[in-house]
Amino acid sequence: MPETPALSVRNLRVEFPTRRGTLVAVDDVSFDIAPGEVLGIVGESGAGKSLTGTAIIGLLEPPGRVAGGEIVLNGQRIDNLPREAMRHIRGKRIGMVFQDPLTSLNPLYRVGEQIIETIRAHLPMSEREARARAIELLIEVGIQGAERRIDGYPHEFSGGMRQRVVLALALCAEPDLIIADEPTTALDVSIQAQIIQLLKRLCQERGTAVMLITHDMGVIAETANRVAVMYAGRIAEIGPVREVIKSAHHPYTRGLMGSIPSIEGTNDRLTQIPGSMPRLTAIPKGCAFNPRCPHAFDRCRRERPDLMPVDHSLAACWLVAPQSAEARS
């Protein structure tokens, strides 16, 4: 029997009711993350990556709402929990890391105050115990002189150091899942790798599942076990990281990887995908990628492809459908 996934998302749908109709920003998204596994989420800006993460942790800003699907954390369904119960999931069982460590911490409180406050919100500890634990965490995330720096204010830390503090905060109640939304984008290139390595090591040691949202294919290649590629609110392809990077099945993924291999499998020149992702108000009929797809054919404009198994992956493309051989000819 396979172990219970740390996170299981089934047919997640996120909607924004607007005056001119309902926008579907996340549409029928399903994936699992096993304990200790890192799932990378990639896709162009506006694909719905952050909204998926925000929906999982239950922090969608109204009028945005989860309009369908299930979110199951370690066997417990969490998308329909009452407010107060959901609050105890956040920070305790799901930790979050945002893009910009400079703005993630409240400038008016000492770093230690913010960690202790979070620990005590979730674990039955006295101030002293929480402080001791905070220092341990800071040491663990690699803050030199943690006993002293715990009483520093955020502005006294560099960007990389602040992101370490944010990591400590995300980990302070030993969550089952960490959602890291572009955790290194705002950082200096020279320290990005360190932070990613740290994230990966800490989560592996603890068996914490990681949902890693990023634009950086290098980070994905080094860190992730599996990758989900999102396009216009849907998953275009999801599979083991090597397969998705080396021999993607979906034309969009191939474009995203920076090269479009020809049908015979030989790599042509590097090309960017022409055009841009459709806005939510104008998602084309059929496959959302069809206006930009070099392989689009009739069916792509009529019918929307669902995820279909191919090798070790799933891809939402008619090219991988069993009967696609005829379609292509």
Partner 1 sequence: MLAFTIRRLFEAAIVMLTVALMAFVLFRFVGDPINQMVGQDTSLAEREELRERLGLNDPVLVQFGRFIWNAARYDFGISYQVKRPVTSLIAERFPATFELALTAAFFAILLGIPMGVYTGIHRDSWLSKLFLSVSLIGISLPTFLIGILLIYVFAVQLGVLPSFGRGEVVRIGGWTTGLLTASGLKALILPAITLGLFQMTLVTRLVRSQMLEVLRTDYIKFARARGLGDRAVNFGHALKNTLIPVITIIGLQLGAIIAFAIITETVFQWPGMGLMFIQAVQNADIPVMSAYLLLVAFLFVLINLIVDLLYVWIDPRVRIYGREA
Pick left, alpha or beta for residue 321 (phi over 0 → left; psi -120 to 50 → alpha; otherwise beta): beta
- The entry of Mg ion, ligand SF4, ligand ATP, none that residue 300 binds, CB within 5 to 8 Å by partner kind: ligand SF4
| Contact set for ligand SF4, span 245-304 (CB under 6 A) | 250-252, 287, 289-290, 293, 295-296, 300
Please say which residue, 50 or 253, places its beta carbon nearer to partner 1: 50
Please say which residue, 133 or 250, places its beta carbon nearer to ligand SF4: 250
Residue 235 engages ligand ATP in binding (rule: CB under 6 A): no
Degrees to nearest 5, angle at CA 216 with 215 and 222: 135
Residue 165 engages ligand SF4 in binding (rule: CB under 6 A): no
Which tokens belong to 217? 């294919």
User: What track of x and - describes contact with ligand ATP for positions 13 through 42 (by CB under 6 A)?
Assistant: ---x------x-x-----------------
Q: Which residue has the tokens 């599996």?
A: 226
- The entry of Mg ion, ligand ATP, partner 1, none that residue 288 binds, CB within 5 to 8 Å by partner kind: none
Q: What is the β-pairing status of strands 7-18 and 21-33?
A: antiparallel
Residue 184 engages Mg ion in binding (rule: CB under 5 A): no
Q: What is the β-pairing status of strands 234-240 and 313-315?
A: antiparallel
Please say which residue, 25 or 141, places its beta carbon nearer to ligand ATP: 25
Residue 132 contacts by C-beta under 8 Å, 6 or more apart in sequence? none
**CA–CA distance from 46 to each of 67, 214, 257, 276, 298 (Å)?**
19, 12, 18, 11, 27
Which of residues 5, 40, 64, 175 is near ligand ATP by CB under 6 A? 64
Residue 121 engages partner 1 in binding (rule: CB under 8 A): yes
